[in-house]
Structure formats: C-alpha cells, structure tokens
Amino acid sequence: MYGNTSFLIMGEAKRRKNLGIPPRKKTEDIKLPQLDKKAIQQKVRSTLYKYPIIPFLFYGAAILILIGGLFYVFKSFNIA
C-alpha cells in the first residue's frame, strides 16, 4: 500500500513523463478588454442630461427600500 502512495502524490509533470505523454501546452493568458473610462463617463453624463429624472427615481427607490426594510424589521421583531 505504501509503495503506491508515491504514485498518488506525484506531480502532473512527473506522471506525464513516466507515462510517456508530452508535456502539457501552456495556456495563453486571457487578456481583459480595456475600459475607456472617459467614454463611459461621457455616455452616463449624456444619459443623465437627456433624462434628468433618473437620479430622483433612483433615490426614491432607495428610500422606499429602506422604509420597507425598517417596516419588515419592526413587524418581524414586534418592536412597536
């Protein structure tokens, strides 16, 4: 039993060499796309200038979610 443990612990490179398999090909590095921050910023600003109601809707939704969360906590723990 102890004679086979060296085979189990052996690294992949040694195992491939012992089996006569060629070394594994190296994978290419994945290149992430570069973000153009100025272009994104320009698109966001143009959208906000086109639809100035968006920030009010966002903040209104956030306030409603906070109020709903507080209501849920008060209701679930019977605080009031």
How far apart CA 53 and CA 60 sit, in angstroms, is 11
Q: Given this model, what pLDDT does residue 1 score?
A: 45
Give Cβ neighbours of residue 80 (< 8 Å, ≥ 6 apart). Answer: 74
- Residue ranges of the chain with pLDDT lower than 70? 1-10, 79-80
Q: Given this model, what pLDDT does residue 69 score?
A: 94
Total domains present in the chain: 1
Q: Given this model, what pLDDT does residue 14 score?
A: 87
Structural domain for 70, as ranges:
5-25+32-77
